[in-house]
């Protein structure tokens, strides 16, 4: 799809991000933080619309989850998860926001197919999945792979710095926070920049 000639409603995209307990995907891992931004590609605007730490009974978790990378590399703590909003309520609130809308992420294979399309979220078919921002950035960043005849997927902070050429509309001040809303904001501004240069299309 090309958004340049679309009506206003179809120029709005919801960019989400999750922080999780690991890379093994659901059900071994779980989402502990979710953030959503509303992007108007025509106007080039980004609005924060949702941010929530997801609550679980962390005392019943095994050591693998309790010692997850995210707890050492962000300001998310086990106590924040212990006292977070119940998972079922977060699922309902997220669906209320993205249901029937254009939705994407920086690595949809991970955020969507790895978690949000699976139980307990079950969001597959509830919204229109748009082009993966990471995959669009891959063709712009052109990081050569040492092992394959293809470009490597760029990490979010790398793509953000390279494509935005040092500008910082997401306000990260040179350091990725590894919080869902902040990362969604970075991905949103990255998408806007690529859309303006016609490197991103839905």
What are the domain boundaries of the chain?
3-195
pLDDT one-digit tens code per residue, 117-143: 999 999 999 999 999 999 999 999 999
**Topology given in CATH for the domain delimited by 3-195:** Nucleotidyltransferase; domain 5 (3.30.420)
pLDDT digits (tens, 9 = 90+) for 10-44: 689 999 999 999 999 999 999 999 999 999 999 99
Q: What is the pLDDT of residues 141-191, one digit of tens each?
A: 999 987 777 899 999 999 999 999 999 999 999 999 999 999 999 999 999
What are residue 33's phi and psi, to 5 degrees? -150, 135
Q: What is the pLDDT of residue 11?
A: 87
Strand partners, 185: none
**Tokens found for residue 28:** 């071994």
Question: Would you tell me how many other CB atoms lie within 10 Å of the CB of residue 42?
Answer: 16
170 phi/psi in degrees, rounded to 5 = -85, -10
Q: Structure pTM?
A: 0.93
Is residue 9 over pLDDT 60?
A: no
According to DSSP, the residues that pair with 99 across neighbouring strands are: none
């Amino acid at each position: 799809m090309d958004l340049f000639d679309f009506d206003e409603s179809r120029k709005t995209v919801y960019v989400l991000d999750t922080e999780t307990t690991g890379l093994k995907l659901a059900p071994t891992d779980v989402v502990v933080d979710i953030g959503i931004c509303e992007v108007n590609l025509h106007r080039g605007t980004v609005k924060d619309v949702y941010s929530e730490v997801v609550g679980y009974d962390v005392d019943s978790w095994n050591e693998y989850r309790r010692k997850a990378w995210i707890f050492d590399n962000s300001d998310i703590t086990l106590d924040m998860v212990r006292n977070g909003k119940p998972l079922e309520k977060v699922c309902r609130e997220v669906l209320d926001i993205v249901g029937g809308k254009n939705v994407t992420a920086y690595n949809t294979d991970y955020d969507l197919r790895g978690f949000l399309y699976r139980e307990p979220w079950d969001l597959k078919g509830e919204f229109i999945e748009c082009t993966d921002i990471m995959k669009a950035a891959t063709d712009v960043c052109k990081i050569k792979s040492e092992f394959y005849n293809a470009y490597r997927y760029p990490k979010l902070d790398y793509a953000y710095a390279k494509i935005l050429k040092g500008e910082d509309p997401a306000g990260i001040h040179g350091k990725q926070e590894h919080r869902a809303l902040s990362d969604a904001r970075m991905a949103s501004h990255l998408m806007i920049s690529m859309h303006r240069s016609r490197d991103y299309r839905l």
